Amino acid sequence: MKPMRIFLCLTLIAFLLSACATSKGHKPENKRQAINEMQRETLAELYQVRPQAKSQIASSPGYAVFSNANVNVIFASFGGGYGVVQSNRSPQRTYMKMGELGIGLGLGLKDFRAVFIFHDDETMQRFIESGWEFGGHADAAAKASDMGAAVGGEALLDNITIYQLTESGLALQATVKGTKYWKDEALNAAR
């Protein structure tokens, strides 16, 4: 019975985190504004931790910033979030959602941000149009507010450099995950 209670509590926390992350109002312009603010804050934090990322982003055709809440319960992992793809060649912004599901060993809850730096236009367009990512993942994070530590870092996959910053949470996981990114039609159409 105790594992079921843990599972239910973590599930509830994940839904609350994702609801808080996207509930900056009901109007599309309020949601876009909240995503843009998350983008600015995440980039500022990334530039403090990894200063070289600023020149990488400036010289790239574009980048994406996502916020994600993830729950790991023994043999399953799931999460969801939102973000924006920003072109450096035009003022074009594409608002997106994300969801992930995984299997493997893990336990905990993690709130993190991811920055994707695209190395060519084709890769950026393919990400916007089909946005799948699949792969193994192993990490450890223990962070609450400004205290704690996070192991994430930098990865290069399919002409995309990915930085991950842990906002808060406690998680230990080794999972195989499928992640889907897709356009948020409501936020992109209402402009």
Q: Which residue has the higher pLDDT, 172 or 91?
A: 91
Place of tokens 């889907």: 180
What are all long-range contacts of 24-33, with beta carbons under 8 Å and residues at least 24 apart?
28/186, 28/187, 28/190, 28/191, 29/190, 31/95, 31/187, 32/95, 32/187, 32/191
What are the sequence ranges of the domains in the chain? 2-189
Contacts of 116 (CB under 8 A, 6+ apart): 63, 64, 65, 66, 85, 127, 160, 161, 162
pLDDT tens-digit readout, 7-35: 555 454 445 444 444 545 678 999 999 99
Q: Please tell me the predicted confidence (pLDDT) of residue 167.
A: 64
Q: Which residue has the higher pLDDT, 147 or 180?
A: 180
pLDDT tens-digit readout, 91-116: 989 999 998 777 666 656 667 888 99
96: tokens are 């997106």
Q: What is the pTM of this model?
A: 0.74
Q: Which residue has the higher pLDDT, 50 or 77?
A: 50
Please tell me the distance from the alpha carbon of residue 47 to that of residue 65, in angstroms, as a whole number: 13
Confidence of residue 54 (pLDDT cuts 50, 70, 90): very high
Is the dihedral angle over the CA atoms 53, 94, 131, 71 positive or is it negative? positive
Please tell me the distance from the alpha carbon of residue 175 to that of residue 90, in angstroms, as a whole number: 37
What residue type is 135 in one-letter code? G
Q: Which residue has the higher pLDDT, 37 or 162?
A: 37
Please tell me the distance from the alpha carbon of residue 57 to that of residue 115, in angstroms, as a whole number: 10
